[in-house]
Amino acid sequence: MRGAGVRIIMESIAANISSDLLGLSIPIVELRQIIKQVAPTDVTVLITGESGVGKEVVAHEIHKLSKRADKPFITVNCGAIPEGIIESELFGHQKGSFTGAIETRKGYFESADGGTIFLDEIGELPLATQVKFLRVIENGEFMKVGGTKPEKVDVRIIAATNRNLEEEIASGSFREDLYYRLRSINILIPPLRERKEDIEVLFNHFVNSFCSKNKIDFKDVSQQAMEYIINYSWPGNVRQLKNFTESLITLNGDKKIEVDDVIRHLNIPRKESTLPAPVSVFQGQDDKQLLFRALFELKTDIMDIKNQIENLGATANSKIPEDGFHIPDEKIENISYDEFEQELLTYYWKKYNGNINRIADKLKISNRTLYRKFKSYGLKNGKAFN
């Protein structure tokens, strides 16, 4: 049984971890050790892992423990910058170099001089920009857009991606030489579902932080509710857990949280959540317990996928107006997520006659991401799907 004593011990351990990278699991303990070894050097680091696992937190930790800790730490989301201006954003531009360049402007690399630059979603970097980025890694030189001479910069580079860059290399969308220069040190952060010992520590941290900031007198969480939280698969990882925790407390802060509150807040149909939560990860696990855990996690994964499909309309309501897209009920019962996505993209391709800009604007995703998805689903020569 998980009791108050266990919770107090866990909170005490977490409070004494001198790191923003919270957790008690072996992968996180090892990760903190790797960070301590890597941080004092200037070696380039590539951080990989699923979306939401905490790649920026790891980058911050590396900078905080480095000799550049008192210098700038600049975060750049490469996937959020339009391809047409990304070089200007990274390297700056000279006055008059293009329409709208009314003054000379520093780029992110120049702003980070002496410190650290963290390039998130590095896999989204256009090929033409990758060439110039490689030059910065190799000799610290870059050239402003419209510039005539190279400039030097002293920057520690940390990059991150949730993509498989080896597959990107094979498809021709990422440079192999850049990949090997980036991954001098490759830090892989495992997903939250593979380190369940960390979930209660993180949950308690998010609860305490949110309640303190918002002056909320949080009651408690029942043991069954906590077991459910621990054994949920968390496809969005730590980011999802944080958002879930804050929303759960906001809507239920005046009472003790029960398992029904958790299930309802995760939008899991009650009929699919009747399987009891498995034994705590802190108890000894015999073969029967391990089998029970595996079955529970398998069922949770299936519930997650089905829930994403069944609730897509509500989730994406602000992104995809109801303008004719429809899948018959008998088909959606067994449709996979990839099949659903293909149906959606096919619909909008036909609706907008292949106008990438309009489709990207409608779905609120980048043109590059859209091109990649169209290609993966068999778009030929910009004309039609298979």
The residue to which tokens 């949730």 are assigned: 162
Contact indicator for 238, 53 with CB cutoff of 8 Å:
yes
CATH class of 320-376: mainly alpha
Average pLDDT over residues 75-83: 92
The single-letter code of the amino acid at 33 is: Q
The single-letter code of the amino acid at 275 is: L
The closest of 270, 277, 269, 189 to 237, measured between CA atoms, is: 189
* Domain locations in the chain as residue ranges: 26-192, 195-310, 320-376
Q: Do domains 195-310 and 320-376 have the same CATH topology?
A: no
Residue 272, phi then psi, degrees to nearest 5: -100, 5
Rounded Cα distance between 347 and 285, Å, is 49
Bigger pLDDT: 362 or 4?
A: 362
Full-model pTM: 0.66
Phi-psi region of 215 (alpha: psi -120 to 50; beta: other; left: phi over 0): left
pLDDT over 60 (residue 349): yes
What CATH code would you report for 195-310? 1.10.8.60
Contact indicator for 52, 237 with CB cutoff of 8 Å:
yes
Question: What's the confidence (pLDDT) of residue 385?
Answer: 43
Question: What's the confidence (pLDDT) of residue 334?
Answer: 63
The closest of 348, 78, 336, 362 to 374, measured between CA atoms, is: 348
Contact indicator for 298, 272 with CB cutoff of 8 Å:
no
Contact indicator for 55, 159 with CB cutoff of 8 Å:
no
From residue 196, alpha-carbon distances to 57, 173, 234, 261 in Å are: 19, 35, 10, 20
Average the pLDDT over each of 115-124, 236-245, 265-274 and give the range with the smallest value.
265-274
* 3 state SS for 275-343: CCCCCCCCCCCCHHHHHHHHHHHHHHHHHHHHHHHHCHHHHCCCCCCCCCCCCCHHHHCCCCHHHHHHH
Rounded Cα distance between 384 and 366, Å, is 20
Average pLDDT over residues 99-121: 90
pLDDT over 60 (residue 287): no
User: Could you tell me the pLDDT band of residue 120, with boundaries at 50, 70 and 90?
Assistant: very high
DSSP state letters, 227-250: HHHHHS--TTHHHHHHHHHHHHHH
Question: What's the confidence (pLDDT) of residue 46?
Answer: 97
Question: What token pair was written down for 205?
Answer: 């941290």
Average pLDDT over residues 281-300: 42
What CATH code would you report for 26-192? 3.40.50.300
Question: What's the confidence (pLDDT) of residue 375?
Answer: 75
Question: What's the confidence (pLDDT) of residue 364?
Answer: 66
Which DSSP helix (H) or strand (E) runs through 48?
Answer: strand 45-48
What tens digit of pLDDT does each residue of 126-179 get?
A: 999 999 999 999 999 988 888 788 899 999 999 999 999 999 999 999 999 999
The closest of 294, 46, 74 to 189, measured between CA atoms, is: 46
Question: What's the confidence (pLDDT) of residue 371?
Answer: 75
